[in-house]
Structure 1
Amino acid sequence: MTAAEQNNYKKLLDVILNFSSDGIFIADKNCNTIAYSETYRLYLGASKEQLKAMTIIDFYNEGWLSSVPLLEIIETKKPCSQIITYYKTGKEILATGTPVLDDNSQISYVVLSFRDISKLKEMEAELRASKKLLNQYRTELITLKSNKIFETSKIKYGLVYRSKSMNQLVELIETLARHDANVLILGETGVGKSLIAEIIHNLSERSNKGKFVKIDCSSIPENLLESELFGYKKGAFTGANVEGKVGLIELADKGTLFLDEIGEMPFNLQSKLLNVLEDKKVKRIGGTEYKPVDIRIISATNKNLEEQIRKNLFRRDLYYRLNVIPLTIPPLRERREDIIPLVKFYENFFLKKYDIKKEIPPNVYEQLLNYDWPGNVRELINIVERLLLLDPVLVLKDMEEQQETLNLPDEITGAENTKESLRDFMDRAEKYYLLETINSTRTLKECAEVLDVDISTVVRKMKKYNIRKSYK
């Protein structure tokens, strides 16, 4: 190779070394410096004279840099990468080295590239700070938005709402209160059927004349329901009160009788109730005299009464008597704009009740809005109370598990497993019904009463099916 060619190769090498924005360093197998780029020198913080006098190992030994991959590459003959710190300039560098082997697979040279990642680290720190600030702004925005939503929502007659459907419902309630027609309230468990019935009574003229009398047809055993409704004369049956008892129908005279879960009323008792509605008089069990009664009937159910009629479980004539004006309460999942106002209302309620300084984390609202609320407002009240008293993470996890369980229609139908055993089917049906009852009751005692079992049985079944709920 001529001197001119050597000079041209040197110029080419200089261009290659300084073309890259990364620092480039080339050493031989003895760690002697062969060539380097200006960027490498600036990273190191050394003068040209120092680079001529010292090898990269000398710089390492004298504490200029935290480590060097050169020795490892010479020893292993394999590429190597390390993050090193240049102490003089304070730069954090990603050093990547590659061996150059001769025909005998021996090290001839090692080429090292150095990339400054200090700015990258700074950018990562800035990005983290920006994300933190963004989350802070997002939290503040959610808080302001939720407060604004609550401030613009309506609180009327004990109802908290913002949706158009509930606004229309309240207008219908006010209309019904001015008239004396029987009302059938329809809606899922936990939507507030009992509250609506009481509001209608309280807004009506009957509130000045008589009482609002409620009876839950599903919670009273069949053999006692008749005596509760109609009352009895003294000595009417074994175990009867010696003084007799006034029935709830008599007690509601001039007022309103609310028959909750009317779909659960025994078939033989339905005809007796129908007679009261038609004749406007009632006779106690064991008695002979009829007493005139002036009552308004408001009934409620979460069942399809027309389906019950087709199955001969409910009297058609009674249905028409009760269903003069139907009133349907939409489930919470169909009026999601009411969720935040309800959450904020009951958050304030429980903060005062327990005298605590705590708020529901703003990042929880998204999950509350996306949840389907199978237990409706009753479940929401329970969840808000738990979020304030327990770890929100655990409460949200329970909600996710609940949603996964109740979102599976085949849990009860078994449509995808038609060859399962009778025991497996009964277990699935029992679990499903237990979950439904748990979601619709406030206390363990109430749950046991609805299921007509001991409290210990409910606890045992909950453990069996891994069902968790914090009852009071």
Structure 2
Amino acid sequence: MENQSWKRFVASENLGPLRAANKVVASWEFCRERQAAPFKKMPARMLTKGQFQARQRLHAKLVQLVRQKVSHLTEQSLWKESVFVLTDDEGNVLWCDGKQTELEVSGSVKLEKAVSASQSAIKQAGQRKWSCYATAIVDGRDDLLGVLDVSIQRASFLPQCRAISQLIAQCVTNQLVREELDKTRFLLQYAAETLTDKVICDEQYRIVHIPSGYRSESWLKIGADMPQVLSGRNISSDMQTLYRDKQPVGIGYRLFNQESAKEKLFYAGISSRNQRYNEFLTQVINVADSDVPVHVFGETGCGKERIVEMLHFNHPRCQKGKLVRVNCGSVSESLLESELFGYAPGAFTGAKAKGHHGKIRQADGGTLFLDEIDSMSLRMQTALLRVIEDKQVSPVGAVSDISVSFRLVTASNQDLKELVAGGTFREDLFYRIYILPLLVPPLRERPEDFQELVDEFCRQKDWLISWQEQICHVSREYEWLGNIREFRNFLERLRLSYPHQCPSVNQMRQLIEMGQLSVASSEAGHDDDEKRRIMTALQENTYHVSQTARALNLSRSTLYRKMKKYAIKR
């Protein structure tokens, strides 16, 4: 009966009560709409080379998993005669393997679930001596990712094709589910270890962690869609993509009440006592109200992100758009394109069928922060330059450009001028983003701020101690090349090692040097650091040797020996 229905369908007759499987008939209708006529040797629609490469790149994970499973299978002599065809959820062929010369592949297929059908119901007229079976590949949410077809030029071999096709599809789905669960575990571990104040979401923007400060809010629920939660609420947010091994695994949202942001100047850092740093903050406030691109330059750990937050939340844009962050050095180049520019609906394995807007479109009306832009490849620099000049973004796989408006803020750990001179950074992009450079002062130039940093840490950790001054005294002896980040790491080690009792000066120094890279790693650096400590202690004790020795926890003879070694005179 199915064969009769097929003949009548090909002849464009009215089938009346259909006897073939409804989903198979739906596939016939879909193919006819796409002009995939049964007697054609080639499909009616072909992807261009660029479109094909873009879809392969965006579905790389799906192709990789299917290829692995098929390669194991084709080691058996029976399946060496088979043809395996993988399509995306729109029916575009992504990959095929086997005796392709004996099989012309249709341009489109329309099967949303696994369907058992005879070869006569599926194949074009030129392919009607084959046994074949196609299975839908879905993710953990049962969303369609693609379709795997297994075909072999043997009659009545459908049961074997069905078993292999379903087995591979299920293995791929299981692998994707395992990876998704692993990412969720990583996000929960990240939230627990960092005590973050951000709402953590997975790659689908579903909430997986709510910080303690928001758990009483009824509108925040685990599993809820974060963009929908924020929609219509008087709350602004900045987004930060979270990475593991340079692969995106989730998104962190820091929330801000818009009304409170209107009433006062926004600054998330500490109150500085350093005159130079306060002058720098005044400069930031003056720049914040402008739409001109800003480049923030400074050493690692010096607080560049806090400056970017000032630029965004003290600008009228914060009432309309988000602060969207992208760390260009934390994501592989192969993913950075889709991360920034987005992709067309159904284009990414494991993502929603609606596609992905990309960070540039997410920042529309707000601020786009590109951190570590110095690590961006020349190819990506060219693509970014085009967006800045045209104010349009072209998502991967899309047929048209989309207009965008955002304030661009960039940051780097390296001097962009030197990179331009070395040929690793485009000169034309440099002049586009380096209009208002802001150089963040390092921590070692703000010795007055150690006290406030220690006090803030103690408040955050609920750490009740009475020896903050001793911490500050020892801390001023060091360079802190890792700046505030390195200093907070030291405070964390100090809190865990000495939660109650006050450690000696040498014990504090050991904890500091434990986390240093350059000073503690070389003997010369250690000698310079030790000489500086002795000089500081002598000056503070008016060169009284006994008092200085006690302050340094050294004997008088040891102190004299070290003074002689470093040529320090009384």
- Aligned partners of 1:408 and 1:389: how far apart in 2? 24
Q: Which residue of 2 aligns with 1:383?
A: 490
430, 446, 451: which one pairs with 1:335?
446
Code of the aligned partner of 2:288: A
RMSD: 2.6
Query: Aligned residues: percent identity?
Result: 39
Length, aligned pairs only: 255
SS, match of residue 325 in structure 2: strand
Q: How far apart are residue 242 of structure 1 and its match?
A: 3.3
Q: How far apart are residue 294 of structure 1 and its match?
A: 0.5
Deviations 1:433-471 (A, max 9, x none): xxxxxxxxxxxxxxxxxxxxxxxxxxxxxxxxxxxxxxx
Q: How far apart are residue 320 of structure 1 and its match?
A: 1.0
Code of the aligned partner of 2:399: T
Q: Which residue of 2 aligns with 1:400?
A: 513
Q: Find out whether 1:364 has 2:471 as its counterpart.
A: yes
Q: How far apart are residue 361 of structure 1 and its match?
A: 5.1
309, 316, 321: which one pairs with 2:420?
309
Q: How far apart are residue 215 of structure 1 and its match?
A: 0.5
300, 313, 316: which one pairs with 1:202?
313
Which is further off, 368-377 or 268-277? 368-377
Which is further off, 237-246 or 188-197? 237-246
Checking the alignment, whether the CA contact within 8 Å between 1:347 and 1:360 is kept in structure 2 is no
388, 396, 399: which one pairs with 1:277?
388
Residue correspondence of structure 1 range 27-176 to structure 2 within 5 A: 156-176=267-287
> RCO higher in 1 or 2 (8 Å CA, sep ≥ 6)?
1
Q: How far apart are residue 371 of structure 1 and its match?
A: 1.4
Code of the aligned partner of 1:218: G
Checking the alignment, whether the CA contact within 8 Å between 1:350 and 1:385 is kept in structure 2 is no
- Aligned partners of 2:524 and 2:342: how far apart in 1? 42
- Aligned partners of 1:280 and 1:404: how far apart in 2? 42
416, 419, 433: which one pairs with 1:322?
433
Checking the alignment, whether the CA contact within 8 Å between 1:359 and 1:388 is kept in structure 2 is no
Q: Which residue of 1 aligns with 2:298?
A: 187
- Aligned partners of 2:272 and 2:312: how far apart in 1? 20
Residue correspondence of structure 1 range 390-469 to structure 2 within 5 A: 390-391=497-498, 392-393=503-504, 394-402=507-515, 405-406=518-519
Q: Which residue of 1 aligns with 2:402?
A: 291
Q: How far apart are residue 291 of structure 1 and its match?
A: 0.9
Q: How far apart are residue 157 of structure 1 and its match?
A: 4.0
C-alpha spacing 1:173/1:404, structure 2 compared with 1 (3 Å) = closer
Deviations 1:340-379 (A, max 9, x none): 222222222222xxxx433445333221111111111112
- Aligned partners of 2:365 and 2:468: how far apart in 1? 49
- Aligned partners of 2:357 and 2:494: how far apart in 1? 44
Checking the alignment, whether the CA contact within 8 Å between 2:480 and 2:487 is kept in structure 1 is yes
Q: How far apart are residue 160 of structure 1 and its match?
A: 2.8
Structure 1 unpaired stretches of 5+ = 1-153, 413-472
Normalized against structure 1, the TM-score is what? 0.50
Checking the alignment, whether the CA contact within 8 Å between 2:490 and 2:515 is kept in structure 1 is no
Checking the alignment, whether the CA contact within 8 Å between 1:211 and 1:256 is kept in structure 2 is yes
Checking the alignment, whether the CA contact within 8 Å between 2:303 and 2:484 is kept in structure 1 is yes
- Aligned partners of 2:345 and 2:508: how far apart in 1? 52
Q: How far apart are residue 411 of structure 1 and its match?
A: 9.7
C-alpha spacing 1:159/1:317, structure 2 compared with 1 (3 Å) = farther
C-alpha spacing 1:256/1:358, structure 2 compared with 1 (3 Å) = same
Checking the alignment, whether the CA contact within 8 Å between 1:360 and 1:388 is kept in structure 2 is no
- Aligned partners of 1:410 and 1:312: how far apart in 2? 35
- Aligned partners of 2:299 and 2:442: how far apart in 1? 7
Q: Which residue of 1 aligns with 2:289?
A: 178
Which is further off, 398-407 or 241-250? 398-407
Code of the aligned partner of 1:164: Q
C-alpha spacing 1:238/1:400, structure 2 compared with 1 (3 Å) = closer
Q: How far apart are residue 380 of structure 1 and its match?
A: 1.7
C-alpha spacing 1:288/1:228, structure 2 compared with 1 (3 Å) = same
- Aligned partners of 1:302 and 1:182: how far apart in 2? 17
Q: Which residue of 2 aligns with 1:445?
A: none
Checking the alignment, whether the CA contact within 8 Å between 1:235 and 1:244 is kept in structure 2 is yes
Q: Which residue of 1 aligns with 2:74?
A: none
Checking the alignment, whether the CA contact within 8 Å between 2:296 and 2:304 is kept in structure 1 is yes
Q: Which residue of 2 aligns with 1:262?
A: 373
SS, match of residue 232 in structure 1: coil
- Aligned partners of 2:516 and 2:367: how far apart in 1? 37
Code of the aligned partner of 2:450: I
Q: Which residue of 2 aligns with 1:234?
A: 345
SS, match of residue 326 in structure 1: strand
Code of the aligned partner of 2:471: V
SS, match of residue 244 in structure 1: coil
Which is further off, 399-408 or 226-235? 399-408
C-alpha spacing 1:368/1:271, structure 2 compared with 1 (3 Å) = same
Code of the aligned partner of 2:418: E
Q: How far apart are residue 382 of structure 1 and its match?
A: 2.1
Q: How far apart are residue 339 of structure 1 and its match?
A: 1.7
- Aligned partners of 2:464 and 2:411: how far apart in 1? 39
- Aligned partners of 1:285 and 1:168: how far apart in 2? 44
C-alpha spacing 1:160/1:411, structure 2 compared with 1 (3 Å) = same
Q: How far apart are residue 237 of structure 1 and its match?
A: 6.6
Q: How far apart are residue 197 of structure 1 and its match?
A: 0.3
Q: How far apart are residue 191 of structure 1 and its match?
A: 0.6
Q: Which residue of 2 aligns with 1:456?
A: none
Q: How far apart are residue 385 of structure 1 and its match?
A: 2.8
Deviations 1:205-236 (A, max 9, x none): 00011000001001111100110000001354
C-alpha spacing 1:395/1:227, structure 2 compared with 1 (3 Å) = farther
Q: Which has the larger radius of gyration?
A: 1
Q: Which one has the bigger helix percentage? A: 1
Checking the alignment, whether the CA contact within 8 Å between 2:320 and 2:366 is kept in structure 1 is yes
Normalized against structure 2, the TM-score is what? 0.42
- Aligned partners of 2:420 and 2:339: how far apart in 1? 25
C-alpha spacing 1:328/1:197, structure 2 compared with 1 (3 Å) = same
Q: Which residue of 2 aligns with 1:225?
A: 336
Q: How far apart are residue 289 of structure 1 and its match?
A: 0.9
Structure 2 unpaired stretches of 5+ = 1-264, 526-570
Code of the aligned partner of 2:361: E
Q: How far apart are residue 386 of structure 1 and its match?
A: 2.7
Checking the alignment, whether the CA contact within 8 Å between 2:267 and 2:310 is kept in structure 1 is no
Code of the aligned partner of 1:184: H
- Aligned partners of 1:321 and 1:410: how far apart in 2? 44
